[in-house]
Amino acid sequence: MTKYIFISGGVISGLGKGITTASLSAILQNNGYKVSPMKVDMYLNIDAGTIRPIEHGEVFVTEDGLETDQDLGNYERFTGEPLHRVNYMTTGQVYAEVLRKERSFEYEGEDVEAIPHVTDEIIRRIKMAGEDKEIVLIELGGTVGEYQNGIFFEAARILKMNEPENVVHIHVAYLPVPGHLGEMKTKPAQQSVRILNSMGIQPDFVIGRSEQPMDQKRKEKIALFCNIPTEAVIGNPDVESIYQIPLLLAEQNLGFMVCEKLGLKEIKSDLSLWKKLVKTIKSDLPEVKIAVVGKYFGSGDYMLSDVYISVIEAIKHASWANGKKPVLTWIDSDDVEKQGAAKILGGFDGIVVPGGFGERGIEATIKAIQYARENQVPYLGLCYGMQLATIEFARNVAGIKGAHTEEIDPKAKDLVIHIMPDQQKKMLKQEYGGTMRLGAWPCKLAKGTKSLEAYGQANIKERHRHRYEFNNDYKDQLEKAGLKIAGTTPDGKLVEIVEIPDHPFFVGVQFHPEFQSTPFAPHPLFKAFIEAAGK
Ligand code: GLN
């Protein structure tokens, strides 16, 4: 019998429901259960691929090529298991399927209604995520009480009504400490549980998110007003690293109590690997200073790093594996433009240029790459970071002055990066959604390259998300000038990795290795990059 755990949020967004879901998944997996964490997003987009990153953070890509919310990245990093299309659901997907069924007369003349047809479709998808699994953890996007996500709460209620012994509901709510009071307040959390109650849902557990630890008095208050035992009120204060959360929740017996509620056998958790990881994270290691140069950092007066979350986590994993403390600095490409690469980038041990789209900040980013190349600073280019490194090399080493990418200047004389032929057809038909080269593709590594040395095997598989690629017309010319083609598709047709051999570490990859890095299995390329940076 598959079990279902809903995780909802209240009071404010950005509570770390994703980390809670990922952590509980890790705890349950650690006890031998096959878990399937899934994210529900309330917007009408079919996937996250068409949403501006600044609105919604990173677009994560699954092995089977779905563009999803960044929370799937957290789930994969915490469980070490790849997720698939079934692990991501949006309102758009649900309605598209219901409307498709209606048009093909699959409802056989019925009135097609939100309840039960839409809720049935939601439950069908949740069950699909649970095939061959024992526990599905469903993170409900947004906060309770929003008009937009109500239908998902309704589906959660119906599933619990149908299978009371198989469903648990966990509510994560914020506990503010207003500055003028200096006291932790529980009323907003109580009210948020009241909203849940009004939707017919009684949470089994309430997790209190707060800056400070929650005291016994607040726990008792929440228990009384939210109609649950005191032990079922779990504290989740701010901690130094997200990787402490599984331990923090396990210490409060969350995994044990959830299993008990679901009638699963008593679990004996061994989180010693997590303990070891947290010890490394907190220990006093020598620093490695990494600059991440991107264009999506600035948002009003704030800097957002969510857009590059997988890149940032991969750098951290690789640093810890190398016995280093990662010190990351986000560099807005605009600042490189204004102040010059040398001024901004001097003093870093390594430079990363992550993926991106469009024109803004491009020339400055190319200058940053030139700085890394000329000053022997270890460089790792991811997707756009590989394409721009190719342009930089073409212009400044191979002497192809007008080198460019078709994405920005289709009329440029030397398109060293050009659109993939099938992508061109799609663009002409304005087929933008879910049509990039997506998901995991095989790649073959060349002998005598840093990449082969890092991976330790010639045949690899990495996840992609792009429309443009290295133009093979320039292969000979660039190779003659000293660029090494270190990886291609197995048929040799697409260039996937470029390297500069006489440089401590200069590697650009057309794919996104960051999506496969986990704290317990850091990505080999990131590991090699940090090793070089550490020197
Ligand atoms: N904009 C580039 C392309 O579409 C790179 C994409 C990326 O960095 N993910 O090919």
The DSSP-derived string for 142-180 is S-TT-TTTHHHHHHHHHHHHH-GGGEEEEEEEE----TT
Considering the chain, tell me which residue range(s) the CATH 3.40.50.880 domain(s) occupy: 285-534
Q: Cα dihedral sign for 277, 278, 279, 280?
A: positive
Closest CA to 55 of 356, 382, 299: 299
Count CA atoms within 13 Å of residue 38 on its CB side.
Answer: 26
- CA 437 – ligand 1 centroid, Å: 10
Ligand 1 contact via 49 beta carbon (within 6 Å)? no
Q: How far is CA 489 from CA 465, 466, 511, in A?
A: 15, 15, 11
Q: What is the CATH number of domain 285-534?
A: 3.40.50.880
Ligand 1 atom having least distance to the Cα of 383: 8
Ligand 1 contact via 4 beta carbon (within 6 Å)? no
- CA 409 – ligand 1 centroid, Å: 14
Q: Which of 84, 404, 466, 512 is catalytic?
A: 512
Ligand 1 contact via 271 beta carbon (within 6 Å)? no
Ordered per-residue pLDDT tens for the chain, 535 residues: 899 999 999 988 888 899 999 999 999 999 999 999 999 999 999 999 998 877 778 999 999 999 999 999 999 999 999 999 999 999 999 999 999 999 999 999 999 999 999 999 999 999 999 999 999 999 999 999 999 999 999 999 999 999 999 999 999 999 999 999 999 999 999 999 999 999 999 999 999 999 999 999 999 999 999 999 999 999 999 999 999 999 999 999 999 999 999 999 867 778 999 999 999 999 999 999 999 998 766 655 555 678 899 999 999 999 999 999 999 998 988 888 889 899 999 999 999 999 998 888 899 999 999 999 999 999 999 999 999 999 999 999 999 999 999 999 999 999 999 999 999 999 999 999 999 999 999 999 999 999 999 999 999 999 999 999 999 999 999 999 999 999 999 999 999 999 999 999 999 999 999 999 999 999 999 999 999 999 9
- CA 105 – ligand 1 centroid, Å: 40
Crossing angle of helices 150-162 and 119-129, in 10° steps, is: 70
Closest CA to 365 of 348, 349, 350, 345: 345
Ligand 1 atom having least distance to the Cα of 436: 4
Q: How far is it, in rounded angstroms, from Cα 515 to Cα 461?
A: 12
Is 512 assigned a catalytic role?
yes
Q: Is the pTM above the cut of 0.85?
A: yes
Residue in the structure block whose two tokens are 């000329």: 374
- CA 496 – ligand 1 centroid, Å: 13
Q: How far is CA 445 from CA 114, 497, 500, 524, in A?
A: 51, 8, 15, 13
Q: How far is CA 535 from CA 273, 345, 376, 471, 509, in A?
A: 28, 17, 12, 34, 22
Considering the chain, tell me which residue range(s) the CATH 3.40.50.300 domain(s) occupy: 3-43+75-249
Ligand 1 contact via 356 beta carbon (within 6 Å)? yes
Is 383 assigned a catalytic role?
yes
- Among protein residues, the one whose CA lies closest to atom 3 of ligand 1: 466
Q: Which tokens is 510 given?
A: 């057309």
For ligand 1, mutation pick of 467, 509, 511, 514 (most atoms within 8 Å of CB): 467
Q: Which tokens is 201 given?
A: 């849902």
Q: According to the model, what pLDDT value does residue 334 have?
A: 84
Q: How far is it, in rounded angstroms, from Cα 465 to Cα 291?
A: 23
For ligand 1, mutation pick of 465, 510, 515 (most atoms within 8 Å of CB): 465
> 415 near 430, Cβ under 8 Å?
no
- CA 418 – ligand 1 centroid, Å: 11
Q: How far is it, in rounded angstroms, from Cα 529 to Cα 381?
A: 11
Q: How far is it, in rounded angstroms, from Cα 477 to Cα 139?
A: 51
Coil, strand or helix: which one is 190?
Answer: helix
Q: Which fold has domain 3-43+75-249?
A: Rossmann fold (3.40.50)
Is 76 assigned a catalytic role?
no
Q: How far is CA 16 from CA 8, 70, 265, 437, 463, in A?
A: 11, 12, 28, 30, 26
For ligand 1, mutation pick of 59, 387, 464 (most atoms within 8 Å of CB): 387
- The alpha carbon of 425 is separated from its chain's Cα centroid by a whole number of angstroms, namely 29
Ligand 1 atom having least distance to the Cα of 417: 10
Ligand 1 contact via 467 beta carbon (within 6 Å)? yes
Ligand 1 contact via 437 beta carbon (within 6 Å)? no
Ligand 1 contact via 464 beta carbon (within 6 Å)? no
Ligand 1 contact via 463 beta carbon (within 6 Å)? no
Q: According to the model, what pLDDT value does residue 265 have?
A: 85
> 507 near 379, Cβ under 8 Å?
yes
Q: How far is it, in rounded angstroms, from Cα 99 to Cα 102?
A: 5
Q: How far is CA 43 from CA 47, 50, 140, in A?
A: 9, 11, 12
- CA 53 – ligand 1 centroid, Å: 13
For ligand 1, mutation pick of 295, 310, 357, 464 (most atoms within 8 Å of CB): 357
The number of helix segments (H) and strand segments (E) in the chain equals: 20, 23
